[in-house]
Amino acid sequence: MNLERDLALEMLRRMLRIRLFEEATIELFHAGELPAMVHLSIGQEAAIAGACLATTADDYMTGNHRSHGHPIAKGARLDRLMAELLGKAGGVCKGKGGSMHLADFSVGSLGESGIVGSAIPVAVGAGLAADVLGNGLVALCFFGDGAANEGVLHESMNLAAVWKLPVVFFCENNGWAVSVRAGELTSVEDISVRATGYGMPGVTVDGQDPVATYEAVSAAVARARRGEGPSLVEAKTYRFHEHAYGLRVKNSYRDQSEVDVWRQERDPIDLFRRRLLDEGLADEAAVEALDAEVRAEVAAAVEFARDSPYPEPEEAYRDLYYVEGAST
């Protein structure tokens, strides 16, 4: 595609927002300010940004346990996301969700979960709601290569195909299901080929290229809006850090040389920055200004999170679903 300058810069902006936000969480972790380990998507920013840019702010989205980047790429406020990670009242879920249970309805983020694959049927439900209401919205469903082997994905894909629901199933295949290589758990080289079994299009793209991802998801979104049903997009990518940052692994399951190659040769931000410069879509000054702008935004988010109070104890009993008069 002929990449337009504004779109290209927005791709880089969203990738930087994810990277720098998560680098800030690493600093907070070492400072003892985070209440738990965090699952980072550093290395996977291009797949996330490209996919989310192909949707609108109103379109629905569901994530997984590695989901800081998803609402960020959808346009969520960094300050409220950071406050949520710190368990503060100013967070998007008032400090009740934390790192693995973010939700921000203002940008269509319906939520995420630490249970592998559990958000997939939620996305299908959102697609069903969009179909019934006729509002033209699409549900973007993120999941990983590990969840690709969960039965709930196959049930959800089948139902979405039968009812021609506006759902885009998006697999972030980072090559590792925790500590097991994807090829040892999955019967096919490309997860996207499984789409054939459900009568929907399937495509595999380079997950380190936000443009390739954007094009594939844009085509799937357009198909969904036309009422032609779901699609499956697989992005081959890689996570640079451990399954969870702070997780101690006694015997490493992957060679450091493998990680080094991806960091040095396949870093999506480095690759895309060079592309912008090579194609004349931005100069060094513009790229540096954008970097400085995002760094300032992240610093302000950290300050907001630190200054935000913790929830009052009685807040634990609010926002609960219950039937009045029912036995407890």
The partner residues of 62 in beta bridges, in order of sequence, read 111, 141
What is d(CA 171, CA 123) in angstroms, rounded to the nearest whole number? Answer: 13
Average pLDDT score over residue span 117-130:
97
What is d(CA 287, CA 12) in angstroms, rounded to the nearest whole number? Answer: 9
pLDDT at position 259, please?
Answer: 94
pLDDT at position 1, please?
Answer: 74
Q: What per-residue string of b and e applies to 65-98 under the rule 16 or more CB within 10 Å gives b?
A: bbbbbbbbbbbbbbbbbbbbbbbbebbbbbbbbb
Report yes or no: 144 and 66 within 8 Å, Cβ to Cβ: yes
pLDDT band at 320 (very low <50, low <70, confident <90, very high): confident
Which residue shows structure tokens 């694959």?
117
Residue type, 314: E
Range with the poorest average pLDDT among 121-130, 176-185, 215-224, 303-312: 176-185
For residue 313, what are its two tokens? Answer: 């104890």
Report phi then psi at 317, rounded to 5: -100, 5
Share of the chain above pLDDT 90, in %: 91
Which domains does the chain possess?
Answer: 5-317 (3.40.50.970)
CA distances from 137 to 59, 118, 210 (A): 5, 21, 22
Q: What angle is formed at CA 76 by the lines to CA 192 and CA 103, rounded to 5 degrees?
A: 70
What is d(CA 15, CA 51) in angstroms, rounded to the nearest whole number? Answer: 11
Q: For 234-249, how does the pLDDT look when each residue is reduced to its tens digit (9 = 90+)?
A: 999 999 999 999 887 7
pLDDT at position 141, please?
Answer: 98
| Non-local CB neighbours of 285 within 8 Å, separated by 6+ positions | none
Q: What rounded mean pLDDT belongs to the chain?
A: 95
pLDDT of 322 strictly over 90: no
What is d(CA 303, CA 300) in angstroms, rounded to the nearest whole number? Answer: 5
pLDDT band at 327 (very low <50, low <70, confident <90, very high): low
Q: For 62-110, how does the pLDDT look when each residue is reduced to its tens digit (9 = 90+)?
A: 999 999 999 999 999 999 999 999 999 999 999 999 999 999 999 999 9
